[in-house]
Amino acid sequence: MPETTPNRTVLITGASMGVGAATARAVFARGDNLVLIARGREALDSLADELADSSRVLVQPLDVTDLKGFESVLEQAAERFGGVDVLINNAGFHARGPLASISTEDVGRMIDVNLKAPMQLTRASLPYLQRSPRPAVIQVASLAGRTPVPGSACYSASKFGLRAFSLAIAEEMADSAIKFACVSPGPIDTGFIMEDIDAVSDLTFSQPIVSAKQVAEEIVRLIDDRRRDAPMPRLSGFLTTLTYLFPGLGRAVRPLLERKGRKTKERLKKARE
């Protein structure tokens, strides 16, 4: 008889909605156990009920900046499922607008949630991942972390940092069995953007909109393939690389991209009326 591959245990932050919830569904469908973290219990419980097999799902309301709480979740996961094999750092926070319009608290919150927490949670998870036969850490960044985005300076900085952390830790731990990778989507058709559409930069909407399900499917592929860096869509990743390497080019094409983005934004707003 062929050998069977044991199910993995996948821990997802920001799991109650959007990309996190879509990833939970995709991971669950392939037979893995789930540890779901988000700030609100109600949405987590609703997702767990939808998945309909409580023996494979551990739900824990938690703010990702609560490191002690996260360490407790790791212990619970090890007790319940025998360990943690995959960490998906998906939770994010974005206060949009020019820097001068954003509160000091929100500036700190973006760095804490988008960069500091993923770094700390990755560090805290290492002892568990190192015991896994097939470990992985996936960071959910953004195209805004590949090229500067005016009006999203702090968010862009936090996602630049997250991507750099992912690439650097992959080199630092190249001799380990842990797969480190980063996915960088453009605009995603979720409430994270659509419910705050007027505040989203026109430049953001110049890029193709992807669905939460598409991002989730890419995350699942990244867990097992050899890639370390996955922009979405790939053509947008190429464009962000060009505009990062050649800032003058970025400034030259920005007005064109912003006009395109404004048209897309108006079309989306009308469709939601």
Candidate list 81, 93, 128, 155, residue with the active-site label:
155
155 in active site? yes
Q: What is the largest CA-CA distance in the chain?
A: 65
The residue among 16, 13, 21, 73 whose CA lies nearest residue 40 is 16
Other residues' Cβ atoms within 10 Å of the Cβ of residue 150: 13
Residue written as tokens 């979740």? 73
The residue among 116, 125, 132, 226 whose CA lies nearest residue 181 is 226
The residue among 46, 84, 40, 90 whose CA lies nearest residue 63 is 40
The tokens for 136 are 């992985």
Q: Which residues are catalytic?
A: 155
